[in-house]
Amino acid sequence: MSIILPEIVDSHCHLDFPELLKDIDNVVFRAKRRGVCKFVTICTKEEDLEKVISLAESFKEIYFAFGLHPMNVSDSSKISLESLLEAAKHPKMIGIGETGLDYYYTVETKELQIESLITHIVAARKTNLPLIIHSRSADEDMENILVAEFDREPFKCVMHCFSSGEKLARVTTELGFYLSMSGIVTFPKSEDLRKIFSKIDKNRILLETDSPYLAPVPNRGKKNEPAFTADTAKVGAEIFKLNEYDFRRLTTENFYNLFEKVGKP
């Protein structure tokens, strides 16, 4: 007799992007067929907020977060604290961001990114919603800002699509933050990242796709979608030397512990 695996959550995806939105009914259907029970779709700029809200209101399984992606800070008007707080009143907005620092593609906007990040941190404190962090090639500044701001006044946080260094992983989880595991951990050349995750408290791990990007093995190179969260879960279970059943149950419990506004089923 086959075992029915526990439901899992895609804690970070971009369902409003055209690649997924044009086929959204089937995207959701395929995900649910593989046990993905909830989705957090991320709004990365203010002009897309109405579209994202409409998507969340159309599917009971879809929740959303809202913020200004660090790579968008020069393309969009500066996001205000007031707009973040107003959006957070929506019952299905459960996170602040994604925000953060990206020095790989957009180091020239470093100061704007830092200013935006601080605004989002303030919003996370005021709303008690988790901050969703994007960090690439910015480990030192990210560590310094998060530690200093947390010492000033605590907040909840997840390091989305974590692929940074071991020190940032250790420091952030010591603050009580979560690390989100994406399809990157399934790539053959990601052995160092798998080792970093293996040293982290398993009660601080979430699953995500970041779809439509970063499809995990065996679908690498294809358009990513929430159904593939299940493939990352298989590798995550191997990393933590757990069976797939227990790892799926664990990461879902972690999701509800962080995103308390959702409410445990």
User: Per-block average pLDDT, block size 10, for the chain (265 residues)?
Assistant: 88 98 98 98 96 98 98 86 98 98 97 97 98 98 98 98 98 98 98 98 98 97 97 98 98 98 93
Residue spans of the domains in the chain: they are 8-260
- Global pTM reads 0.97
Q: Which two tokens stand for residue 81?
A: 């604290």
Q: Which two tokens stand for residue 86?
A: 């107003």
pLDDT at 77: 73
pLDDT at 1: 55
The string of DSSP letters for 53-122 reads HHHHHH-TTEEEEE---GGGTTTSPPPPHHHHHHHTTSTTEEEEEEEEEETTT-GGGHHHHHHHHHHHHH
Who contacts 148 (Cβ-Cβ below 8 Å, separation ≥6)?
none
Q: What is the pLDDT of residues 65-78, one digit of tens each?
A: 999 999 999 877 78
pLDDT at 2: 67
For residue 197, give the 3-state DSSP assignment.
helix
Residues 88 and 65: beta-carbon distance below 8 Å: no
Q: Which two tokens stand for residue 202?
A: 């398993």
Sign, Cα dihedral of 77, 147, 160, 186: positive
Give all strands of the β-sheet with 36-43 in edge-to-edge order: 8-13, 36-43, 62-66, 93-102, 131-136, 157-159, 178-181, 205-207
H or E element in which residue 174 lies = helix 166-174
Q: What number of H helices and E strands is found in the chain?
A: 10, 8
- First CA to last CA distance, the chain: 26
**CATH T-level topology, domain 8-260:** TIM Barrel (3.20.20)
Give strand pairing partners of 93: 64
Q: What is the CA radius of gyration of the chain?
A: 17
Who contacts 130 (Cβ-Cβ below 8 Å, separation ≥6)?
94, 95, 96, 124, 156, 157, 158, 178, 258, 259
